[in-house]
Amino acid sequence: MRTISERFYVVGISYKKADAATRGLFSISPDNQRDLIKEAVRRGMEGVVVVSTCNRTEIIGFAEHPFKLIELLSAFWHRGTVKEFAEVAYVYKSSEAVEHLFRLTAGLESQILGDYEIVGQLKQAFQLSKSLGGINTHLDKLFSFLMQASKRVKNETRLSSGTTSVSYAAVQYLLQRYGQLTDKTVLLFGLGEIGKNTYKHLLEYARPGRVIIANRSQDKLAPLLAGAPAGVEACRPEEITEKLSKSDIVIVATGAARPTLTERHIPAGHKLTILDLSVPGNVAPGVKQMPAVTVVNIDELSQITDATLVQREQEVPKAEKVIEEVKSEFYDWLGNRKFAPAINTLKEALEDIKARELASYAKRNGTPCNADLDKVTTSLVHKIVRQFARHMKPDNPHASQTVELIYRVFDKENSK
């Protein structure tokens, strides 16, 4: 059976066994994700990627034992314990880890089937690790095949048909609760990926009478405000209390390590609906006790479904077929990797033979070889190498004999 290294693991927790509050204990901030990768590189680990989203925290990488990855992860998560983590965690090894990652990037493991927000989050996590030297050749190639499969599933199936995601579910919840929002003021706090998607869905489906956007980074506000319709405005985080007193709905998508919305922000007796899309939760526990306030977290929102999901479920077999095809291509690449040293030995030996023959030709004729002769001999070397490479496929029962032949005939010491 074709497989990746027995030292390859995916360790993590997700919405399947851990609720939002529990997931919050093990979330890792962007700064901590960076520090984690730096520490992994310092320890000499071959390849590590860490992703922490509202639905999951996972570490992907090579290690002698999965506990090595858990130990690394535990130094940077929010405030959970290893024992608590073990109670809800999953560990995938080797080919199971590969299968999990393909399903994850295809949208099959999302809390809302077909939700592709995880793909962008994984891309960011991968690029961060790569920029810090935390990606090895196998992980680099695997992610390339994962993105290829994800793109094909999105283009060749209707798994992501319609619009169903956590941000979309938030807007649908509001429409179900209020009927329409044209007379409501919505305060959106945070412009990460979920915040931006929520803003887009608000304008497209709900059209509130007024939208107030609060974000610490003013750079993210400028592009949104440039093309914003009437009724959209921005405010600074320190103005939250004032703006909140004039709002009917607050959507919190700040993704901070600690609550960004507390009791002191909310006027006593002010009627308010708060949707907390952050993990860990960014609405202080005391807010839920305020009599006029309704707080809904991300797990509750994810229960909202529509007819779109029925159609998506019918597309799962098609998505799984695509995964099998691309996964097979990855394993073909992996299988060919073991023949690379033999191919390199052959190429180096042929290049040595070519160089000696051209030198001998130049000596006999008293003139250096012309460019055409060098070009022709180089082409011959490449064609011979490619011919051997085509023969050395993982499914060829004679491939190992060919490898043995190359080493016996073309070993540098014996080819002189």
Query: Do both 99 and 220 map to the same domain?
Result: no
- What domain count does the chain have? 3
**54 catalytically annotated:** yes
Query: Do both 327 and 346 map to the same domain?
Result: no
Q: pLDDT-based confidence at 162, cuts 50/70/90?
A: low
For residues 201-220, give the mean pLDDT: 89
Query: Do both 114 and 235 map to the same domain?
Result: no
C-alpha dihedral (120, 122, 125, 130), degrees to nearest 10: -100
User: What is the per-residue pLDDT for 416?
Assistant: 42
3-state secondary structure string across the chain: CCCCCCCEEEEEEECCCCCHHHHHHCCCCHHHHHHHHHHHHHCCCCCEEEEECCCEEEEEEECCCHHHHHHHHHCCCCCCCHHHHHHHCEEEECHHHHHHHHHHHCCCCCCCCCCCHHHHHHHHHHHHHHHCCCCCHHHHHHHHHHHHHHHHHHHHCCCCCCCCCHHHHHHHHHHHHHCCCCCCEEEEECCCHHHHHHHHHHHHHHCCCEEEEECCCHHHHHHHHHCCCCCEEEECHHHHHHHHCCCCEEEECCCCCCCCECHHHCCCCCCEEEEECCCCCCECHHHHHCCCEEEEEHHHHCCCCCHHHHHHHHCHHHHHHHHHHHHHHHHHHHHHHCCHHHHHHHHHHHHHHHHHHHHHHHHHHCCCCCHHHHHHHHHHHHHHHHHHHHHCCCCCCCHHHHHHHHHHHHCCCCCC
Query: Do both 39 and 145 map to the same domain?
Result: yes
Q: Give the CA distances from residue 207 to residues 185, 284, 392, in Å, rounded to whole numbers and listed in that order.
A: 10, 28, 61
Query: Do both 200 and 247 map to the same domain?
Result: yes
**Whole-number mean pLDDT of the chain?**
88
Query: Do both 344 and 395 map to the same domain?
Result: yes
The answer to whether position 227 is within a domain reads yes
Q: pLDDT-based confidence at 410, cuts 50/70/90?
A: confident
**Is residue 136 over pLDDT 90?**
yes
Query: Do both 405 and 367 map to the same domain?
Result: yes
User: What is the per-residue pLDDT for 163?
Assistant: 60
Percent of the chain whose predicted confidence (pLDDT) is above 70: 93
Q: pLDDT-based confidence at 415, cuts 50/70/90?
A: very low
The answer to whether position 2 is within a domain reads no
User: What is the per-residue pLDDT for 341?
Assistant: 74
The answer to whether position 93 is within a domain reads yes
Query: Do both 353 and 325 map to the same domain?
Result: no
The answer to whether position 1 is within a domain reads no
User: What is the per-residue pLDDT for 379?
Assistant: 83
> Which residues form the domain of 29?
8-162+311-335
Task: Render pLDDT for 337-382 as a digit per residue (tens, 0 to 9).
Answer: 767 777 778 778 888 888 888 888 888 887 777 777 888 888 888 8
Query: Do both 216 and 278 map to the same domain?
Result: yes
User: What is the per-residue pLDDT for 414?
Assistant: 44
Query: Do both 135 and 226 map to the same domain?
Result: no
The answer to whether position 195 is within a domain reads yes
Query: Do both 43 and 155 map to the same domain?
Result: yes
User: What is the per-residue pLDDT for 382?
Assistant: 81
pTM of the complete model: 0.71
The answer to whether position 35 is within a domain reads yes
For residues 256-276, give the mean pLDDT: 93
Selecting among 20, 54, 249, 284, the annotated active-site residue is 54
For residues 97-109, give the mean pLDDT: 96
Sheet holding 8-14, edge to edge: 48-52, 56-62, 8-14, 90-93
The answer to whether position 323 is within a domain reads yes
Q: pLDDT higher for 354 or 413?
A: 354
Q: Looking at residue 201, which CATH number applies to its domain?
A: 3.40.50.720
Q: pLDDT higher for 5 or 323?
A: 323
Q: pLDDT-based confidence at 169, cuts 50/70/90?
A: confident
Using CA atoms, how far apart are residues 257 and 27, in angstroms rounded to an integer?
8
Q: pLDDT-based confidence at 307, cuts 50/70/90?
A: low
Percent of the chain whose predicted confidence (pLDDT) is above 90: 55
Task: Render pLDDT for 40-78 as a digit per residue (tens, 0 to 9).
Answer: 999 999 899 999 998 899 999 999 999 999 999 999 998
The answer to whether position 3 is within a domain reads no
Q: pLDDT-based confidence at 12, cuts 50/70/90?
A: very high
Q: pLDDT-based confidence at 119, cuts 50/70/90?
A: very high
Query: Do both 13 and 153 map to the same domain?
Result: yes
Tokens of 66: 């999965």
Q: Give the CA distances from residue 295 to residues 7, 41, 283, in Å, rounded to whole numbers and listed in that order.
A: 43, 41, 8
